Each structure stands twice: as C-alpha cells, then as structure tokens.
C-alpha cells in the first residue's frame, strides 16, 4: 500500500458498467460527469476512452489531465464477468484427506425443489483437480494426525502435471490452528513456484467448510486474471501520464489499492454495484435527512437495487455467482445488492405463452439497442422509451449521439408489435410497463420481504436510465418521495468519491452469553484490533480512522447466524454482555419479526472493519451544462397507456432555478439522463442540485 498520504490534485472515479463507462471528475473545485461506451473485450480501453472524453471536455490533452490527477478510483465488473463466463484460471484444490467432496456436497438446497430435470451443479473445482492431504486438526486446535509432507509433495506434483494455474487450500479446522495450511503454502512455493495460491484461514476464517472452500477457490481462480488486469490498468494509465494512486472499489463498499486487491481479488466481485448505496445514503441524508432509502441504479444491462436501513448499508454473505444453489457462493460479506436484467439495453421478447418479456438478455454496449445505430436489431427498453417520446433522438448524451428512431421502430414492430397484433406505440408502452414491473418485484424482495415498508422510504435513482420509469416505480410501491441526485447518472462512480479505504478482518471464537469467555474473546478482539491498526498505518490516508466491531450470532440450535454491530464495552463486563444480547434480540426481531429475549445467544464469529477516510468531494457541485435559453415553456407529445398521445412539459434540468417546480406529465432532460415525471407528481430542483419528486398532493 502507499506509505504517504494522498497529495492534492484531481480525483477520477470510474465505474465500468455493461454499456457505458462513467467518470465523475473531482477537479478540486467542482464535479464533472463524462461517459463513454464500455469495451467488453478490453475494459481498460474503456477507462482510457472516458478519460479522453473528459480531457477533450476540459480542453486539455489526455496526458495533461492525467498529470493533474492524484487518485483514480475504479469500479470494475472484470472479476464477476470472468466467473460468469468461465474464463478464470485452471484451479486445483488441496483439502483434508477423506473430505474431497466439500465443493460437491455444498450445503444442500435447490433453486427449484420439485423440478428434478435440473441436473446436479458442477463443482467449481472438479474432482480430477482435487488432491487429498493426509492431515487432521481437531475442533480444539490439536494435531490429531501429523501432516504427511511426502504425500503432499506427491499431490502437488499431480497438480503440476495437470497444468493448474492456481491452487486453493482448505483444510479442516485451519481457522482454529493454521499450522498445517501454512506449511502447505510453504511447500507450494517450493514445488509449484510462480503459481498463486490462497489459504482459507487467511482469506475467510468462517466456520462453514463449503463457504470457506468456495471462497478460497474463487479467490485463487481469479488471481491470474485480476493480477493481469490490474497490472495492465496501472501500466497503461502510467504510460498515458497518470502518476497517482489507483484504488479499486471492493464488494463491501470500500476501497483498496490495486496491488492489494490483486492479492485477494474476491473482494472485487461486486466492485461496481457496491458504490451506489454509498452514494445513495449520502444524498438521502443530504436531502431531508432520510435514514431509510431504496437505491435503484439502472444501467444499460442491469437494474441494481439496495437498501439503506437506519443509516446503515446491509451486507450479505448469500452472494451467489449464477443461480442460487446452482452456481457458486462467495461466502464473503458484500453489500446486499439485488440485480435483475432490466436495464436500458435489456432485450424485449415474446415468450411461449405469447406474453411480452424484458431481459435478462441484454444488447450491452456492442451492438447496443437498435436506436444506437451500432448494428443492434433487437428491441430494448431504450428503443421503447424513444418510441413513446420519453427520449429525444437529438439530445441523447448531450447531443453527442443521435438516436435512430426508424431502427427502433423496425425492431419493436418486427419482434413485439406484429406478433401481438398491436401498434408500435402500444408495444413500446408494454415493454416499459413490463420492465417497470420487473423492477418493482426486485425492490419488493429487498424491502417488503425483509420487513421494510417502501412507503416509509425515499427512492433514490441512479444510472443513466434511472429516470425513465423511476416515478412509475415509486407510484407502484407507494414511495412518497423520489430523489435523483445531480450526479445520479453516474451514481456508482460518485460513490467512489464518498467511500473510504477500508478492510475487514474476522476471527472464529465460539462462546455464549450464559457462560461468556471474557479472556478468549478479549484475545480475539485484541488480535482484530491489531490487524486493523496495521492496515490503517499503511493505508496512506491522512483522514480519520475508525474501527467497527460486529458479531455473528444465533439462538441455540439455529442453523444460521446474523451479523450484529457491537461496541468494545459489550464484551468487558456482565452488564455489557446483557446489552450485547439485547442488541441481538432487537436485530432478530427486526429481520424476522420474532425474538426470544429469555434465550441465551451463541456468538460464533467476530469481525472488525477499519475505515480510513479519504478527502471528501460530497459538498462540491457539478458544473451545469451551458444550455441556450429555451424561450419559454415547451411541450412534446408522449405516449401514455390508456390515454394515447398527450402533451408533456419539456424542461432542461440545467435551466431550472432552485425550487423551480415542473408538474407532470413532463420530461426533464439533462446531459446524461432523462427523468419522466408521471401525472400526479411534481419535480423540484433542490439547493443541492437534486431533483426531488413528490406527489402533487404533497408538493
């Protein structure tokens, strides 16, 4: 990690999405937004492209712009894409003799319990590349069977002959006594030099074997891929003139140096989506002090939804690569984000029952929606929004890209309107309605199904396509307020300017509130604090450092734990332990609508998260585009289901004065997004530059 605090200069926050790569540039005085097409075959090229667009917009050469930068924050989908497409490294697994099927048996569970046509999922690492290690450590940490190094070396030779490119090591109870795993690591370096490996007790010291083995193998399989990506990113940025610090967004909503995350690339799996709730929490608090917010980030490929509850961003260890129970679980805490294939580039189609569907297939960046004129022929949500008048062909991306109305009409007509026997406008409106319902259901999964009433939350919109139907979504959910921040079109990238350099550490130490092990717990927490302090001292950030503790606890005989924040005083006295138990009961009640205050609480794991604050850019305003005066109110027809074509007020967000109000139906445009204000709602521009949309009864 960097040893010196960041020097003053520009900060580049870049999020590489499925369709566009977004840049929020902090000049030190203001914020500026830029977009460029993502380049899936070479994501670094997309990063350089958006920086070149920014340089042009600033009237500079790229080298001059980069020379003024001191920090580049990057959210990337490279890791998740590698896992989904199966383009990770050929990986071997070393595990305790007699337990070669950890990745095969999993934890039980089926995505479709009564559909026996679904085959048994394939393990992440096949049995042919799994080597059993003669050794055994007990749950108490005692050596029951000494490590047989000769047979281990022979097993390593088998992996070498199989041309493995990475190795995961997961031995039973290494989380209690890691001696054998550490020795395996030493022998791997001797007999398989240059091949990266991951030791499970160092990466994810969790109690459950499948989750620990899965996360270990995922991490190992990503090391060659992500090391090459980060090396290419840093070298090409340097060659272009950037000499600052490169930070990568993590799945838990923090940042790490590129070199550090290359050592544990599993942290980058949900790199991009984790930043939207960070930014959403900030803007929700800024615009009215909301501590409960639904963040909806609509990009070109996916609709990502998350929740801020009581000012906290929930995290989950139930993150699956692929379909739950059919894919592979990461077993790692990450920001709880629900993603569905319902972005601007999601393809509309007719199912076997003759009903219109939208997604999850996407036209992505190449070829993109039909209206982009880049070779796409399939109808997408963007094409539909163009045909119903929500988008204007000549003002997309501030006029940098003209949309092809005829191409959109041909695509929607051929694939949707003609099969359904309806007009093109009716078909386009149906596409928008179906996409809206998909998004509503995704939000209900993370709100209603978790005891959160959307009527008590503010809906924060992000992503270039967020405004197209966010008000319609709010209407369906009953949300009283919609908020689209000034940086909303690049919300995830903006989150990179608001996040901290952070890391999390974990330890397993089982105890219970009825017979609390004060000495053992103190030892575990002291070790976690020491690791946090070592990280903070090397973080290269001059800002405030904070350490947050949490426990993974459950009622006796429960199968699963929940994470509960605690303070140090909760583990130093009997009174503190009672407070800890009360905090668990409250959290359990909040999550499951039931608790048992008379029961003892079992604590399985202990976690500490350290955050080193970076310089904030939150209070800076974006530079408003130079838009010629419109010469008074304008109208444009838009198509509304059940009403047909109606006149809607057209406004430019950059021309709206503070507290200026626009009543729906209306379309409010900006350089990078369009906001459709439904009938019965009114939009107001706040002093902070956000669009605040409320029902007209409350406006």
| Separation CA 16–CA 253 (nearest Å) | 16
Backbone angles phi, psi at 258, to 5 degrees: -55, -40
Residue 439 DSSP symbol: H
Q: Which pLDDT score, from 0 to 100, does residue 413 have?
A: 95
Helix (H) or strand (E) run with residue 229 in it: helix 209-240
Residue 212 DSSP SS3: helix
Centre a 10 Å sphere on the Cβ of residue 455 and count the other Cβ atoms it contains: 10
8 A C-beta contact, residue 478 and residue 456: no
For 697, what's the count of Cα atoms within 13 Å in the CB-facing half-sphere?
Answer: 1
Q: Which pLDDT score, from 0 to 100, does residue 91 have?
A: 97
Backbone angles phi, psi at 302, to 5 degrees: -130, 165
8 A C-beta contact, residue 432 and residue 455: no
Angle between helical axes of 209-240 and 78-85 (0-180°, round to 10): 130
Q: Give the DSSP letter string of 385-428.
A: HHHTTSS-TT-GGGGTS---HHHHHHHHIIIIIHHHT--HHHHH
Centre a 10 Å sphere on the Cβ of residue 520 and count the other Cβ atoms it contains: 12
Residue 379 DSSP SS3: coil
CA dihedral 233, 238, 239, 241 (to 10 degrees): 130
Model confidence over 158-177: pLDDT tens digits?
999 999 999 999 999 999 99
Residue 246 DSSP SS3: strand
Please give the C-alpha separations between residue 467 and each of 355, 390, 456, 525, in angstroms, as whole numbers. Answer: 25, 10, 21, 46
Length of the chain: 699
Centre a 10 Å sphere on the Cβ of residue 213 and count the other Cβ atoms it contains: 27
8 A C-beta contact, residue 195 and residue 184: no
CA angle 620, 498, 291 (to 5 degrees): 100
Which residues on neighbouring strands pair with residue 163, listed in sequence order? none
The single residue listed with the structure tokens 């009672």 is 578
Instruction: For 65-114, list the strands marked E by DSSP.
Output: 69-75, 91-96
8 A C-beta contact, residue 457 and residue 578: no
Angle between helical axes of 275-286 and 491-498 (0-180°, round to 10): 80
Contacts of 42 (CB under 8 A, 6+ apart): none
8 A C-beta contact, residue 286 and residue 347: no
Enter the tokens of residue 91.
């990986």
| Ordered domains of the chain (ranges, CATH) | 10-82+226-268 (3.30.420.40), 90-195 (no CATH), 500-612 (3.30.1490), 634-695 (no CATH)
| Separation CA 641–CA 387 (nearest Å) | 13
Q: Which pLDDT score, from 0 to 100, does residue 397 have?
A: 64
Q: Which pLDDT score, from 0 to 100, does residue 596 have?
A: 96
Enter the tokens of residue 568.
């140090």
Backbone angles phi, psi at 53, to 5 degrees: -60, -40
Backbone angles phi, psi at 676, to 5 degrees: -95, 120
Nearest to 366 by CA among 358, 357, 374: 374
| Separation CA 74–CA 271 (nearest Å) | 8
CA angle 367, 368, 372 (to 5 degrees): 105
Please give the C-alpha separations between residue 631 and each of 27, 184, 650, in angstroms, as whole numbers. Answer: 32, 74, 12
Q: Which pLDDT score, from 0 to 100, does residue 341 have?
A: 77
Enter the tokens of residue 272.
């991009």
Instruction: Name residues of the chain where pLDDT drops below 70.
Output: 1-8, 397-400, 542-543, 615-633, 697-699
Q: Which pLDDT score, from 0 to 100, does residue 622 have?
A: 67
Helices and strands of the chain, counted as H and E runs: 18, 34
| Separation CA 672–CA 649 (nearest Å) | 19
Which residues on neighbouring strands pair with residue 504, listed in sequence order? 609
Residue 6 DSSP symbol: P
| Separation CA 591–CA 93 (nearest Å) | 36
Please give the C-alpha separations between residue 168 and each of 131, 355, 527, in angstroms, as whole numbers. Answer: 10, 46, 25
Residue 330 DSSP SS3: coil
Please write down the HEC assignment for all residues of 567-617.
Answer: CHHHHCCHHHHHHHHHHHHHHHHHHHCCCCCCCCCEEEEEEEEEEECCCCC
Q: Which pLDDT score, from 0 to 100, does residue 400 have?
A: 67
Helix (H) or strand (E) run with residue 137 in it: strand 136-137
Helix (H) or strand (E) run with residue 188 in it: helix 179-191
């Amino acid at each position: 990690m960097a040893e010196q605090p960041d020097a003053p200069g520009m900060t580049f926050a870049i999020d590489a999405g499925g369709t566009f790569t977004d840049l929020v540039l902090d000049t030190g005085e203001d914020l500026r937004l830029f977009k460029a097409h993502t380049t899936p075959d070479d994501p670094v090229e997309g990063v350089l492209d958006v920086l070149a667009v920014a340089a042009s917009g600033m009237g500079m050469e790229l080298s001059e712009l980069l020379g003024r930068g001191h920090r580049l924050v990057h959210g990337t989908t490279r890791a998740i894409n590698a896992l989904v497409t199966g383009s990770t490294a050929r990986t071997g697994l070393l595990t305790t003799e007699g337990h070669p099927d950890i990745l095969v048996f999993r934890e039980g569970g089926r995505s479709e319990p009564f559909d026996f046509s679904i085959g048994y999922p394939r393990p992440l690492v096949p049995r042919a590349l799994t080597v059993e290690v003669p050794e055994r450590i007990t749950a108490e940490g005692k050596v029951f069977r000494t490590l047989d190094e000769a047979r281990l070396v022979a097993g390593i030779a088998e992996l070498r002959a199989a041309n493995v490119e990475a190795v995961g090591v997961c031995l039973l109870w290494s989380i209690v006594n890691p001696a054998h795993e550490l020795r395996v690591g030493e022998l791997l370096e001797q007999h398989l030099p240059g091949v990266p490996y991951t030791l499970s007790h160092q990466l994810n010291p969790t109690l459950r074997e499948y989750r620990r083995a899965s996360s270990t193998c995922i991490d190992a399989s990503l090391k060659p891929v992500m090391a090459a990506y980060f090396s290419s990113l840093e070298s090409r940025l340097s060659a272009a003139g950037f000499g600052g610090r490169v930070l990568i967004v993590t799945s838990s909503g923090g940042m790490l140096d590129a070199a550090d995350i290359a050592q544990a690339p599993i942290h980058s799996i949900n790199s991009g989506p984790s930043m939207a709730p960070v930014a959403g929490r900030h803007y929700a608090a800024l615009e009215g002090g909301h501590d409960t917010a639904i963040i909806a980030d609509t990009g070109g490929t996916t609709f990502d939804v998350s929740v801020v509850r009581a000012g906290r961003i929930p995290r989950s260890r139930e993150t699956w690569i692929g379909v739950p129970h059919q894919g592979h679980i990461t077993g790692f805490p990450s920001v709880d984000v629900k993603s569905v294939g319902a972005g601007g580039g999601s393809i509309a189609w007719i199912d076997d029952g003759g009903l219109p569907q939208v997604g999850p297939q996407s036209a992505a960046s190449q070829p993109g929606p039909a209206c982009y004129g880049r070779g796409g022929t399939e109808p997408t949500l963007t094409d539909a929004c163009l045909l119903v008048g929500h988008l204007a062909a000549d003002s997309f991306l501030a006029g940098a890209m003209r949309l092809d109305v005829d191409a959109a009409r041909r695509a929607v007509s051929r694939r949707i309107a003609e099969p359904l026997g309806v007009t093109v406008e009716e078909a386009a409106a149906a596409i928008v309605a179906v996409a809206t319902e998909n998004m509503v259901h995704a939000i209900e999964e993370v709100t209603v199904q978790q005891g959160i009433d959307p009527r008590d939350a503010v809906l924060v919109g992000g992503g270039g396509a967020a405004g197209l139907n966010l008000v319609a979504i709010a209407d369906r959910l009953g949300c009283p307020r919609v908020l689209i921040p000034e940086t909303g079109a690049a919300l995830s990238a903006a989150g990179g300017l608001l996040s901290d350099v952070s890391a999390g550490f974990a330890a397993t130490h089982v105890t219970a509130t009825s017979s609390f092990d004060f000495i053992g717990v103190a030892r575990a927490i002291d070790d976690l604090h020491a690791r946090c302090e070592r990280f903070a001292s090397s973080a290269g950030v001059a800002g405030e450092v904070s350490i947050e503790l949490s426990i993974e606890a459950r009622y006796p005989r429960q199968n699963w734990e929940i994470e509960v924040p605690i303070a140090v005083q909760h583990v130093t006295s009997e009174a503190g332990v009672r407070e800890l138990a009360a905090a668990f009961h409250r959290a359990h009640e909040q999550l499951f609508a039931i608790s048992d205050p008379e029961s003892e609480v079992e604590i399985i794991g202990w976690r500490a998260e350290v955050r080193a604050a970076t310089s904030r850019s939150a209070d800076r305003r974006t530079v408003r585009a130079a838009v010629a005066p419109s010469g008074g109110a304008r109208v444009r027809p838009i198509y509304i289901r059940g009403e047909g074509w109606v006149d809607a007020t057209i406004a430019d967000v950059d021309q709206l004065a503070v507290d200026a109000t626009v009543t729906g139906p209306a379309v409010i445009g900006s350089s990078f997004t369009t906001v459709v204000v439904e009938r019965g709602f009114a939009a107001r521009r706040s002093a902070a530059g956000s669009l605040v949309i409320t029902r007209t009864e409350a406006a």
